[in-house]
Structure 1
């Protein structure tokens, strides 16, 4: 799966957990999360594993109450935190094979692109650090046409 898609799914997961738990100290199942993302719980658990390693979620195994919860408040989880937890490679990569050193472009393109890529990724990370899961939750609910409190009440009634 593309980095961008995995990142987007991670943001979706964290935002949904924030909504579903409503700030309460409770765990939600990967089945419930997968229902929102419209994918398999196995795929969701893979991403949750990365988020757990990044200390953005906590897991509780076995029986009643098993599931996942946010490790921090939604206002304290930035898009950059999520990016760093789920993205394993740089935003831009150079050639997989070395370009022709006897060609003017082949010889100079990697050094030229390295500085540009580095500056671009730094700017992106600065932007990601400005937005939180709480911001995304509010904007997502606004875009859906729902009221946040209505959604939290509805989710509380649908807990399995």
Structure 2
């Protein structure tokens, strides 16, 4: 079983909002970029709002905007806004205490998983939404597609 796609959707939405700067985007516009459902996008945006990463205005001309400068939003911020619990799943129930592997595996995996999660946190914490925006625009220029 893989990790959820909520983080990828959140990072995509944040990068899209950063790309358009001061222009608010509604959930349908963001969903179009994701080729996704606006209801799913609104759920993700709600979590990002609760984390203080985006804000919204209602009514005509309303929509979603970044609540912070994109240089201040890391990929790890997006991850923690939309994911709950540890990155790597632990045993759903205690393994057999009568088995030598069962007796020891949880403690051994806990160390490995914790180290892996720290490494991911550190790596995602180094990249900001502004970094991704710059990379998107650079790639578009390279392809001759920039607007």
Taking structure 1 as the reference length, the TM-score comes to 0.84
Distance of 1:47 and 1:3 partners within structure 2: 15
Distance of 1:83 and 1:5 partners within structure 2: 10
Residue 124 of structure 1: how far off its partner (Å): 1.1
1:118 equivalent to 2:114? Answer yes
Residue 129 of structure 1 aligns to a residue whose secondary structure is: helix
Structure 2 CA distance for partners of 1:60 and 1:3, relative to 1, 3 Å: farther
Residue 91 of structure 1 aligns to a residue whose secondary structure is: coil
Tell me the residue number matched to 2:36: 39
Tell me the residue number matched to 1:14: 14
Tell me the residue number matched to 1:99: 95
Tell me the residue number matched to 2:66: 70
Taking structure 2 as the reference length, the TM-score comes to 0.91
1:143 equivalent to 2:139? Answer yes
Residue 60 of structure 1: how far off its partner (Å): 1.4
Distance of 2:94 and 2:143 partners within structure 1: 52
Aligned partners of 1:3 and 1:87 also within 8 Å: no
Structure 2 CA distance for partners of 1:44 and 1:94, relative to 1, 3 Å: same
Aligned-pair RMSD on alpha carbons? 1.7
1:127 equivalent to 2:123? Answer yes
Q: Mark the runs of 5 or more structure 1 residues left unpaired by the alignment.
A: 152-160
Distance of 1:6 and 1:93 partners within structure 2: 16
Residue 126 of structure 2 aligns to a residue whose secondary structure is: coil
State the number of aligned residues.
145
Distance of 2:100 and 2:57 partners within structure 1: 57
Q: Mark the runs of 5 or more structure 2 residues left unpaired by the alignment.
A: none
